[in-house]
Structure 1
Amino acid sequence: MDNTTNTLAEQSKLRRLVNSYGVPRLIITGFLLLMFILAPVAGVDFATQITNVINRFSWNAIMVLAMVPMIHSGCGLNFGLPLGIISGLLGATLSIEFGFTGGMSFLMAIVIATPFALVLGGGYGWMLNKIKGGEMMVATYVGFSSVSFMCMMWLLLPYKSPTMVWGFAGKGLRTTISLEGFYDQFLAKFLQIDLNRFGINLVIPTGSLLFFALLAFLMWVFLHTKTGTAMTAVGSNPTFAKAAGISVDKTRLLSVVLSTWLGAVGILLYEQGFGFVQIYMAPLNMAFPAVAAILIGGASVNKASITNVIIGTILYQGLVTMTPTVMNAIVHLDISEVIRIIVSNGMIVYALTRKTEGGK
């Protein structure tokens, strides 16, 4: 009798654990683990793939983190993330234009990007306050239109740095700008753990991970402050929050500005790891992987946590990294880009169709 009771209790506990994690997310996790198992079988270097997954996590995690404040305030998923990315790109290009080099160019890029993020995020937040209930639809339009507008501005703004402008015309920015000599790998190489000397192709970008950990911790602390609690209250029940004396519009505005600033910092971290600044149409679809990642991580349109950010980014970037490489090695055909597009877009579609379900 006791054994039966214990068995039933364990099954119930396991069932609750599975339900809390989510069956679909469990399947995605299982598929990712399968890719890791198949990697050495297919002749793919396991350590190299671990390095690639960690790198992609460190590049993208802050842009996923940028989703958290807007979700908490009830503004929904930040499809207007390109506004933050544009702020970061302006910070990066102006930092180079002003002649900053090395690590200082990264720090100055953040400093310069901040006022742009405050202004663009403030206008974006004001707009979202005017159309409560339709935030995500308008945010998508804002994100797309801002990228299109900046395609003209990158050609018209009076940049002069020979590192960035088109050589034959002397004006207008190049599509891709190298960060060599500026902040290429600035954080990635800080306290970097390189095991190549021991014959293992594993490199851990410690600085990038620590930078994300710092921002994630600060976000967690903020959400537990009086302002952060008010932000959560506004997202959960704006009527109750207003009755409690909380300014709903100001709180929502703050969340949008914070999300925009995190997007700006996120793209700068992405660039230092990638080694290039990419402008014009590059930011157009960058919001979708971030949205998909946090939803796959277990968030919903009105609830998100740091844990959702970490789990979602690992699952999304892990699959995007591992699946094309492993499948390519198995079938011996160069179809990695096709598989990457199918996997990434498939996860985006899956995540968006489950946007109201959270971790269920």
Structure 2
Amino acid sequence: MEKNAGKVVKSILISNIVPIVFFLLTLGAVLVAKIPPLFLLSEIARRLSRNTFLVLALIIPVVAGLGLNFAIVLGAMAAQAAMFFVVDWNITGLKGVLLSMLIAGVLSVFLGWLVGKTLNRAKGREMITSMILGFFANGVYQLIFLFFIGSLIPFSKTDILLPQGVGLRNTVDLYGVLDGALNNIWVVNIKFINFYMVPLLIVVGLCLFITFLLKTKLGQDFKAVGQDMHIARTSGIDVDKTRIIAVIISTVLAAIGQVIYLQDIGTINTYNSHEQIGLFSIAALLVGGASVRKASIWNAIIGVILFHALFVVAPSAGNKLFGQPQIGEFFREFVAYAVIAFALAMHGWRARKAKH
């Protein structure tokens, strides 16, 4: 009996090793930093409304067997491109945000289709392929917004262009245009903690949509393809088409998530805002206990809370321990990469153990 109980405990610990280690790390940083609890809760509440949508965008490809979709950065680029044009057209507030989502969604359907077609030619190597696609797309993005805007593509707002009139500035300010357009609709204040209800309700809506989708015929196809492509194909499922649909859904959701994220931030870092989206979203999902083959809504929510709690306290902890807050900044980046490496290593170890 004791042996069985020991095995169960060991199995639970091994299955949840990443969130457990990260929880202990975050708790240690919170104790060292001595940050006021209300401030920490306020920051976590804001980051839940700002970042959760992007993390949830990763779930469908994992269920469909495509692994961790680093190519969500293409959706983020589409969102930024849409927001640049909305700012140029001076469409403000909720109308501007909704138009940005619409344009970004249309662009993302096309980009997701291209990514899906490419990943179907790289079966078994989807994660590294999606990462390389992100780098390639970033090069195209830089070319368009550094050299084409203002020359081939007309732009009326010269204040967001570089001095020579070609290319966008490093930062585009959304203040007075799209800044807080969703956040400010409905704010609930509880003990000095602001809850931005509209973004939170959108996140809840996405959770319900994913839950519903996975119960439909398409959702069952995603699961079947994720478990075994050969068996799914012999069952009459169009495997390639199903995988493309999964990538398109993920890319469109990432585009909408990036619009939500940027209207909260209030500025667009033209050439860098999208770069860390894939890395930090994937790290947050893995911190919540997801793996390359399995991910759930709760993994995403727990991951956002733990990962961003550490993000908030790391600079203060670094300052207290070493006298330099910059060390905390470096530590945050290190942790993001380390979590992904550790989770992938654990996945490989479990797969090899199951095989033997």
TM over 0.5: yes
Counterpart contact for 2:65–2:293, Cα < 8 Å: yes
Is the partner of 1:189 in helix, strand or coil? Answer: helix
Counterparts of 2:66 and 2:24, CA distance in 1: 32
Letter in 2 for 1:341: E
| Larger deviation, residues 164-173 vs 110-119 | 164-173
Counterparts in 2 of 1:49 and 1:330: CA distance versus 1, 3 Å = farther
Q: Deviations over 1:39-74 (max 9, x none)?
A: 4xx3x3321122122222322212211111111111
> What is the RMSD computed on CA atoms of the aligned residues?
2.6
> Among 1, 6, 17, which residue is 1:23 paired with?
17
Distance across 1 between alignment mates of 2:350 and 2:267: 35
Residue from 216, 228, 234 that aligns with 1:225: 216
* Regions of 4+ moved over 6 Å: 357-360
Partner residue, 1:130: 121
Q: How far 1:15 moved relative to its partner? A: 2.1
Aligned to 2:27: 33
Aligned with 2:134 (options 125, 137, 143): 143
Contact 2:286/2:343 (8 A) holds in 1: yes
Aligned to 2:336: 344
Q: CA deviation at 1:132?
A: 1.2
For residues 264-322 of structure 1, what are the alpha-carbon distances to aligned partners after superposition, in whole Å with 9 as ceiling and x for unaligned?
A: 01111110111112222432232111122212222222221111111122221221222
Residues 151 and 21 of structure 1, relative CA distance in 2, 3 Å threshold: same
Matches within 5 A, 1:63-74: 63-74=54-65
Contact 1:113–1:264 (CA<8 Å) still a contact in 2? yes
Structure 1 window deviating more from structure 2 (152-161 vs 28-37): it is 28-37
Q: Which runs of 5+ in 1 are unaligned?
A: none
The letter for the 1-side match of 2:23 is T
Given the alignment, which residue of 269, 288, 291 partners 1:297? 288
Query: 2:286, 2:303 within 8 Å by CA — same for their partners in 1?
Result: yes
Equivalent positions of 1:311-330 (< 5 A) are: 311-329=302-320
Q: TM-score, normalised by structure 2?
A: 0.88
* Contact 1:72-1:235 at 8 Å conserved across structures: yes
- 2:273 is the alignment partner of 1:282: yes
Matching residue within 108, 133, 138 for 1:117: 108
Q: Which runs of 5+ in 2 are unaligned?
A: none
> Identity of paired residues, percent?
29
Residue 331 (structure 1) shift: 4.8
- Tell me by how many angstroms 1:86 deviates: 1.1
CA contact (8 A) 1:75 1:135 kept: yes
Residues 1:121 and 1:49: Cα distance change in structure 2 (over 3 Å): same
> Which SS does the other structure have where 1:194 is aligned?
strand
Q: Alignment length, in residue pairs? A: 347
Give me the whole-angstrom Cα distance separating, in 1, the residues matched to 2:14 and 2:203. Answer: 25
With 314-323 and 135-144 compared, the bigger mean Cα shift is at 314-323
